[in-house]
Structure formats: C-alpha cells, structure tokens
Amino acid sequence: MKKTSLVFVILAVSLFLSGPVTAKEIQWKAQTSFPSQDSGTIHHAQGMVDATNTALKGQLSTTFFQLGQIVPEAEMGSALSHGVYDAAYMPAMARTEAGNIGFGLPFSWDSFEDVIEFYYDYGFLDWLRKHEEKYNIFVGCPLPWGPVALFSNFPVNKMEDYKGKKIWSWGLMSAVIESFGAKPVMFDPGDVYMALKLGTIDGVLFGPAELETMKLKEVIKYISLPALIDPLVMDWSMNMNSWKKLSPDTQETYIKVMKENIRPMYDRIAIENNIGFKKAEEYGVKTIHLSPEEAKRLKKVARETWDIQAAKNPANEEAVAMLRKFLEKKGK
C-alpha cells in the first residue's frame, strides 16, 4: 500500500471512531431588570431562556441571572451594548430615549393586539432594530406585560388629587404624573415595598400581578383605573456581536421561538394580573374607577406630554409620529 493511501485510511478510521463532528454549543448569559418575584421575570425572562434553551439544545445554552447578579439595573443597557452579557429582559427605554415609545406612551394603545400590530404589521419592530443597531443591540421581540396603574395610599377621583404626591415612576410616565401635579421619584423597584410601608412615597405605577407577587397589596389602600398604559411593553434583546455569532439557522429558530411565545407568556401574566386585583380586593384595597369625563381629561393632558418626548431628538420625533399615525388609523 502506498504511503499516501495509508494516511487516508488512518484518517478515515480516526474520524469513524471519534463520531460525527458537531459544532460547540454557544454559551450565553442573560439578566432581568426586575426583581425575582416579578411576574415578568418569571414568565417573560425565565420563560424565554427556557424556551430558547429547549429549541436550541446543542446549539445555544443561556444561563439566567437575577437582577444585579451581573450588573446593577442602571447599568444594564450599557453593559448589554458592550457585551458584558448577551441577552436582557428590560424596557427599551433603559437603552435609548426612543425606547420610551416602544415601552408604551401613556394613554396610547389599549390592547395586546394593538401592540403586536404596531410592532410587526406597522413596522415599528424593524424601525426599533435599525435604531438600536447603532448601539450594538439586536431587539428580539416585544413582550407585552399588562396594565400599569396607580397603586397608592391616597384616593384619586380627579386630576387635582395627584397634587404634591410622591409617586414612583419612570421615563415619560414621570413627565405625565408631573403634569398631573405629582412629584415623580425613581429607585430600584425592589425597594418599592418598604418605601410605601415607610411613607417615603405615596404611590407607585406598577402592574397588578405585583400586588400579590411583591405583596404590594399590604402597603397600599387604593387602585386607580383606568390604567395609564395597557399593556406596558418590555422586550427581549441581545448584544449584536453575540447575535451575529449565531448561525443563520439558529437565528431563524430563535426569532421563531420568540414570536411564538409572546402570546402564551402574556396570557400567563394576565392570569397573575387578575389574581393580583382579586387578592388586593380581598385584602381590603379599594378600586376607584375614574368617571369617563375625568379619564378623558387625564388622557388629553397625558398625550400633550408626548411632545416632550418627541422634541428630544429626531429619532424620538419619528417614533412618536409613527405611533400617532397608527392610533389615528385605529381611531384611538
């Protein structure tokens, strides 16, 4: 046997004995921007990690970290951009100003279906991806969370009842409640319970599931409806470098899994939202529904603050214009 032929035989036997050659499984780290007991952390963040790990077994494995285990909440946007970790559950507003529009402007859309139509059919997700690509981030999918209402230790029957009250809020929500006469404050959401208990704040803008999961029902007296945003929208996003390291087939599967899980995750959180309202009522918390006239008045003032967001930069102006045209088309 020639020497060259012998070498080929040896190589062939070695390959046969070693088994098929498979690509090495990529390892990712993901972090949530909300406390561990938060319904979004449980159903959105952990749920997305579980779903993608199952669908991409052998290709991609993501380890899930709770708030602060990799970086503090305030540093999550920058850390994701710089590749400190690979994927995040957070509001888009934590990364860019234009993210406030994706998060949900007060008194804008009023259903899960509106959000999906705006993001996917009306083109906002493509717009947001292009916008955040400049910051080295790939926006995966929107994750509608549920209504955001005022939970407080003071009753609200009219706009003037907000005057002088300290309310935990964020982003444009702060400008809105300030326009109602309140004083917005912001700190780690995990500290909201004690702040309400100690009277450091008078109210909080949060989702109803947290009335039970975070036990906020124990430290408030009133729920004010209608919600200021319904639903609020979080998202699942990735570091762009990490995303580009995935093969096209893996990316395609990942995107498919994300979109398929939006509705089931929302429905699971909706169950907890309903439980939150029910448990709060059983605990003695009173729900106040504003009159249609007063709700319309708040809506008018709230929508005027959208101009504040639009005036910050050209991207914001474009995004707000998209939302206004979408709502006008829907007659809302």
Tens-place pLDDT, residues 209-222 = 889 988 999 999 99
pLDDT for residue 11: 39
Q: Is CATH 1.10.357.10 correct for 24-330? A: no
> Residue 95 carries which DSSP code?
T
Provide the pairing of β-strand 203-206 with 137-152.
Answer: antiparallel
Phi, psi angle pair for 321, to nearest 5° = -60, -40
Work out the average pLDDT over 290-296.
Answer: 95
Of 174, 168, 171, 208, nearest to 187 (Cα)?
168
For residue 39, what pLDDT band results from cuts at 50, 70 and 90? confident
Q: Is the pLDDT of residue 71 over 90?
A: yes
Rg (CA), the chain: 23
Instruction: Please say if the pLDDT value at position 10 is more than 80.
Output: no
Dihedral over Cα of 90, 96, 102, 103: its sign? positive
Q: What pLDDT digit, counting tens, does each position of 227-253 carry?
A: 999 999 999 999 999 999 999 999 999
Q: Are 228 and 176 in contact (CB under 8 A)?
A: yes
Q: 163 CB contacts (<8 Å, ≥6 apart)? A: 180, 181, 182
Helix axis angle for 124-133 and 314-330, nearest 10°, is 170
Q: Categorize the per-residue pLDDT at 279 as very low, low, confident or very high, splitting at 50, 70 and 90.
A: very high
- Report the distance separating Cα 55 and Cα 256, nearest Å: 10
Mean per-residue pLDDT, 149-164: 96
Residues contacting residue 95 through CB under 8 Å, at least 6 positions apart: 77, 80, 81, 132, 135, 137, 237
Average pLDDT on 270-290 reads 96
| Measured CA angle at 308 (ends 302, 314), to 5 deg | 135
- Is residue 262's pLDDT more than 60? yes
16-40 as b/e: b if 16+ CB within 10 A: eeeeeeeeeebebbbbbbbbeebbb
Encoded tokens for 46: 């952990």
Q: Output the six-digit token pair for 56.
A: 């991409």
| 3-state secondary structure at position 315 | helix
What pLDDT score does 168 carry?
96
Query: How would you class 312 by CB atoms within 10 Å of its CB: exposed for 0-12, middle for 13-18, buried for 19 or more?
Result: middle
* Helices 292-304 & 171-179 angle (0-180, nearest 10): 120
